[in-house]
């Protein structure tokens, strides 16, 4: 079969695409650029696409439909960058991938520890030989009550890891998991907001939970609460977060994702003027750590992303059960 790959990266994905395409007998078409209306014609003759986190709007979906594409597989867990309504309208299937949850779980714990130990301030001071102590006293994780919002594979891995630190753990999810109950207590959001010293987000972004953490939610939380987000930026109302930081309702933040990051992350933009005022404001706080959507980025995860994107396309073409099928 034939699969066309957009945003093909030589420096990390190439070895895995070559390995798995050979193993599964797949003919690859390759474009190093993100898909656009201008390069959509390259996919003509290919019924299957593999993409990453680039915006696929209704117009682009229609263009791919015109050149004969039947399915879009995104090499990511999230799929909110694809216009799903347009895909349904044109009868195109969409799938995502799964990868080792340990990469994001590890990164989440790192951000938690960096936030509660005030590591940003410590590192900034050390760079200018300021070795003073006032203002950098941290906390210990075992003294925290932690709320984990979302108990899918990543959320469960985070809960498992947190259990080793001895902290009290609450969990929230529409679907409760029996394994989670060994380590955490399920509760409603209001209870979690009231009881928890730290909240960490592990949900897909959907219309129903966009801006889950908004001004009203922050008002229900403890003063000085710590917020960690390695899921999707749109889960947090950024302006409400900034206000909560300014009035010290939120005591520390670790963000690997922000709202409207398309076209920015994974590109060299150091010489560009970015129209991202909220990002500049967030980075200016001494108690906010912002990283560029890197939590997933390990050798194991990249291998899994490539392999499972190809497998999803193959399973669809053979009419077999596809565990990554969105619809």
**Domain of residue 38, CATH code:** 3.40.50.720
Answer yes or no: is pLDDT of 15 > 90: yes
Confidence at residue 52, expressed as pLDDT on a 0 to 100 scale? 94
pTM to 2 decimal places: 0.91
Sign of the alpha-carbon torsion through 139, 198, 81, 297: positive
Region 102-123 average pLDDT: 98
Region 143-164 average pLDDT: 98
Confidence at residue 242, expressed as pLDDT on a 0 to 100 scale? 98
Answer yes or no: is pLDDT of 246 > 90: yes
Cα separation values, 219 from 145, 194, 241, 245, 323, Å: 18, 10, 11, 12, 39
Answer yes or no: is pLDDT of 268 > 90: yes
Instruction: Write the pLDDT tens digit of every residue in 186-195.
Output: 999 999 999 9
- Tell me the pLDDT band of 196, cut-offs 50, 70 and 90: very high
Region 197-214 average pLDDT: 97
- Tell me the pLDDT band of 148, cut-offs 50, 70 and 90: very high
Is the same domain home to 109 and 69? no
Is the same domain home to 210 and 251? yes
Query: Which helix H or strand E contains 74, and what residues bound it?
Result: strand 71-74
Per the annotation, the verdict on 232 as an active-site residue is: yes
Using CB atoms within 10 A of its CB, is residue 94 exposed (0-12), middle (13-18) or buried (19+)?
buried
Answer yes or no: is pLDDT of 94 > 90: yes
CB neighbour list of residue 324: distance below 8 Å, 6 or more residues apart: 73, 95, 96, 97, 98, 308, 311, 312
Marked catalytic residue, from 293, 316, 318, 321: 293
Instruction: Write the pLDDT tens digit of every residue in 303-321.
Output: 999 999 999 999 999 999 9
Backbone angles phi and psi of 5, in degrees to 5: -110, 120
Answer yes or no: is pLDDT of 262 > 90: no
User: For all residues of the chain together, what is the average pLDDT?
Assistant: 97
Marked catalytic residue, from 13, 47, 259, 261: 261
Asked, for residue 233, whether it belongs to a domain, the answer is: yes
- Angle at which helix 238-246 crosses helix 277-284, to 10 degrees, equals 30
Is the same domain home to 22 and 82? yes
Is the same domain home to 156 and 265? yes
Answer yes or no: is pLDDT of 212 > 90: yes
More confidently predicted of 216 and 260: 216
Region 24-47 average pLDDT: 98
Per the annotation, the verdict on 261 as an active-site residue is: yes
CB neighbour list of residue 125: distance below 8 Å, 6 or more residues apart: 131, 132, 136
Q: Which residue range(s) make up the domain with 28?
A: 2-99+298-317
- Tell me the pLDDT band of 11, cut-offs 50, 70 and 90: very high
Confidence at residue 326, expressed as pLDDT on a 0 to 100 scale? 96
Is the same domain home to 45 and 111? no
Share of the chain above pLDDT 90, in %: 97
Provide the domain count of the chain. Answer: 2
Asked, for residue 327, whether it belongs to a domain, the answer is: no
Is the same domain home to 107 and 202? yes
Instruction: Write the pLDDT tens digit of every residue in 56-70.
Output: 999 999 999 999 999
Lowest-confidence pick of 106-115, 216-225, 256-265, 290-299: 256-265
Region 47-52 average pLDDT: 97
Say if CB 301 and CB 99 are below 8 A apart: yes
Region 188-217 average pLDDT: 97
- Tell me the pLDDT band of 263, cut-offs 50, 70 and 90: confident
Asked, for residue 323, whether it belongs to a domain, the answer is: no
Asked, for residue 322, whether it belongs to a domain, the answer is: no
Marked catalytic residue, from 160, 232, 259, 316: 232
Is the same domain home to 200 and 302? no
Answer yes or no: is pLDDT of 31 > 90: yes
Region 263-284 average pLDDT: 93
Asked, for residue 324, whether it belongs to a domain, the answer is: no
Is the same domain home to 158 and 240? yes
Region 208-229 average pLDDT: 98
Is the same domain home to 117 and 231? yes
Is the same domain home to 18 and 142? no
Is the same domain home to 124 and 77? no
């Amino acid at each position: 079969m034939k699969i066309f790959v957009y945003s093909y990266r030589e420096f990390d994905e190439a070895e895995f695409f070559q390995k798995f395409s050979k193993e599964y007998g797949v003919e690859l078409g390759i474009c190093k650029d993100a898909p656009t209306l201008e390069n959509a014609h390259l996919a003509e003759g290919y019924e299957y696409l593999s993409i990453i986190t680039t915006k696929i709007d209704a117009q682009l979906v229609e263009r791919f439909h015109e050149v004969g594409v039947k399915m879009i597989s995104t090499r990511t867990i999230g799929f909110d960058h694809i216009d799903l309504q347009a895909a349904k309208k044109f009868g195109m299937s969409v799938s995502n991938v799964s990868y080792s949850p340990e990469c994001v779980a590890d990164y989440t714990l790192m951000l938690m520890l960096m936030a509660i130990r005030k590591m940003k301030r410590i590192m900034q001071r050390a760079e200018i030989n300021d070795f003073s102590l006032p203002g950098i006293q941290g906390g210990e994780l075992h003294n925290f009550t932690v709320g984990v919002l979302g108990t899918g594979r990543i959320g469960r891995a985070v809960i498992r890891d947190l259990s080793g630190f001895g902290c009290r753990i609450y969990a929230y999810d529409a679907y409760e998991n029996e394994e989670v109950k060994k380590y955490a207590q399920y509760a409603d959001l209001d209870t979690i907001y009231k009881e928890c010293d730290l909240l960490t987000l592990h949900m897909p972004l959907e219309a129903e939970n966009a801006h889950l953490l908004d001004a009203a939610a922050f008002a229900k939380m403890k003063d000085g609460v710590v917020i960690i987000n390695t899921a999707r930026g749109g889960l947090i109302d950024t302006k409400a977060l900034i206000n909560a930081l300014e009035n010290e309702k939120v005591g520390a933040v670790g963000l690997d994702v922000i709202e409207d990051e398309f076209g920015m992350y994974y590109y060299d933009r150091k010489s560009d003027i970015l129209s991202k005022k909220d990002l500049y404001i967030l980075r200016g706080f001494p108690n906010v750590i912002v990283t560029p959507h890197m939590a997933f980025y390990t050798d194991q995860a990249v291998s899994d992303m490539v392999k499972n994107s190809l497998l999803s396309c193959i399973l669809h073409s053979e009419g077999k059960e596809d565990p990554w099928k969105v619809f």
